[in-house]
Every structure is written in structure tokens, then in C-alpha cells.
Amino acid sequence: MTDYPFLKKAGTPFKDTEITKVAEIIKEADRDNGEITGAGLIGAPLSKSSISHSGASFAPGTIRKALGGFSTYAIEDDTDLSRMTISDLGDVVMHVTDIKESQRRVFEAFDHVYKSNPQWLPIVLGGDNSVSFPSIQAFAKHKGSVGVIQFDAHHDVRNLEDGGPTNGTPFRSLLETETIEGQNLVQVGIRNFSNSKAYRAYAEEKGVAIYTMKDVRDKPVTGLLAEAVERMRERVDAIYVSVDMDVVDQAQAPGCPAIGPGGMDAVDLFDAVSFLGAEPKVKGIEVVEIDPTVDFRDMTSRLAAHVILYFLKAKMKENK
């Protein structure tokens, strides 16, 4: 087909020869091409596990699209991702009616990828926050002792009796299964009128470090994170960054199921993931809880794409 004049594969976008779009550095992963050694996207399109109605299962698609549309060049520090390759490992295929089986599949799929690709830097695209449990379980199985920096308006340590393993329970499951120790969990951006005293108490008893939005407003987030990373540096072999986009204010991230005012500024989040990306122990990131069906112009997926790009830029510089 390609040698007919002017005919291209359906949907081929406009190409400016002097701009590299992120889409151009994303390559479909192919086992025959050998090990994945750097950043690799993997989608976990599950949201039937959400407490409230959620279309977060569409987010791997919208984040990929937003990501692909930005360019690789960061002018502020003159960094270009254009020579990096981002592998795309595809999406976990979910079961239609068995939610726990879907969560098990996330673990199973991730487990196999980690096993075959020890150098893989996972960029996980949720889905809702319930995928964090199997995702981090697989991460921990292969990385040793693990710490997690969780950006979230909510603790997500709900009891499992009231509804099973939902988007409100992943960190409870991780703590209860001792996948991570409480002292190796850092929660950033916890918000007023969005949590309960009981769950805060639970988290504190487990030794979880909690930074509320007031903390984030009062001090530079990178300072808080430096503190947090320092505390766990000796204790853990690897750190995982979990970004629930609802940590950002509703005006800037309008496409999350549980939106509200008083949240984090997007630029602070970019600074935060830039700081974490530069830390060698940080070995994975996930972005969860975007529901594209209620978003405005995929604004929240565009934000997520920037979160990923700032993280990768920092990783790239760290690796130099």
C-alpha cells in the first residue's frame, strides 16, 4: 500500500521532520527483540473494582494518546528524550466478570515480565488504584525490600470486608500481606474531608509516613520527599512511585472519579516525580484513577503524560 502516492495507513498523523513526538520513541515490545532494558509502558485497564462507577479502564488508551502527542524535548534543562526507547508491552486482558481473577492476571503478567526483564523500568498505566496491589506485589517479588511513595488524596487502607479488594484498599492489602512495611510507605497529599480518623490511625499504627496537603502547601514537596527517601534509603532495595491523579486539585485534574478542591498543584507534582526519578533506588512508577469518560478534553491524561515524561527525563539524566 505504501507505494501508492499519498496513501498512508489510516490515522497516520502529520509529521514535522524537525520535531520528534513521544509516539516515535514508543515501540511495541516484542519478545524476539530480546530483553526490555529501560522504560516500558504496561496497561492495567481495570476499573470494575472501583467503589464508585469508573471508566478508568479507558485510561491506558488516553494516556498513551496524550503521551504520544507531546514532543521529546524539554527546553528548560535542554534534555531530549528522542534517543530513548519506550517499550510498549500492551495491556493486561481482564476477565469480564471475575474481578479478582483480573487482579490476579495483573500480578501474573507483571511477574513474568519482571522475571524475563530484570532491567525493565515499569511505567504502569491504570486502571483504578486496585491494580496497585498486584502491581506492587510483583514489583516486590523481584526487587527485594520495597518502599512506596504514594501521591493520593486518600489513604486507601480501607477494610476489605465492606467491599472486597477495591480501589480503596490496595495499601491495606500491601501492609496486611507484608508486601511492604508500614515504615516504607509514604503518603503525600492526603486531604481534609476525604478520609477518616480510623484509617489515619490504622496507617499511623503501621508506621506509615503521612504528608497532608497542608504539609505540601507549607513546604516544598521536594523537601518532604528528600526527608522521606532518606529515612527509607537504608531499609529498602527499591522504591516504587504510585500516583493517584486525584492528588491534584479538581480544577487541574477534573477527570478523576473522586474530585475535590484543595489539591496539589500540577507543577509541584512534576517537581516531585522529577526528584524521585533522579533517585537511583526509584525503579518504577504507576499512574492511576483517571476516568476519561468524565474528563474535559483528556486534560487529566495530558497531566499524567507530563508526570511520566518528567519522571523519564529525570531517570535519563540519572543514568548519564
Residues 22-81 contacting its own copies, CB under 8 A: 22, 28-31, 42-43, 48-49, 51-53, 55, 57-58, 60-61, 64, 70-76, 78, 80
Q: How far is the CB of 181 from its own copies (least distance, A)?
A: 22
Distance (Å, whole) CA 208 – CA 251: 29
For Ca ion (CB under 5 A), the number of binding residues is: 7
Count other C-beta atoms under 10 Å from residue 80's C-beta. 14
Q: Which of 46, 81, 131, 153 binds Ca ion (CB under 5 A)?
A: 153
19 sits near its own copies (criterion: CB under 8 A)? yes
Instruction: Choose one: 93-101, 135-143, 174-182, 232-240; the region binding its own copies (CB under 8 A).
Output: 93-101
Q: 247 with 215: CB under 8 angstroms?
A: no
**C-beta closer to its own copies: residue 2 or 178:** 2
Tell me the HSE value of 88 on the side-chain side, using a 13 A CA sphere. Answer: 16
Closest CA to 160 of 194, 192, 128, 199: 199
Distance (Å, whole) CA 63 – CA 200: 31
Distance (Å, whole) CA 191 – CA 154: 7
Residues 122-151 close enough to bind its own copies by CB under 8 A: none
Residues 243-262 close enough to bind Ca ion by CB under 5 A: 244, 246
Q: How far is the CB of 156 from Ca ion (least distance, A)?
A: 4
Kindly give the pairing relationship between strand 238-244 and strand 282-288: parallel
Q: 45 with 92: CB under 8 angstroms?
A: yes
**C-beta closer to its own copies: residue 278 or 294:** 294
Q: How far is the CB of 277 from its own copies (least distance, A)?
A: 14
Q: How far is the CB of 145 from its own copies (least distance, A)?
A: 26
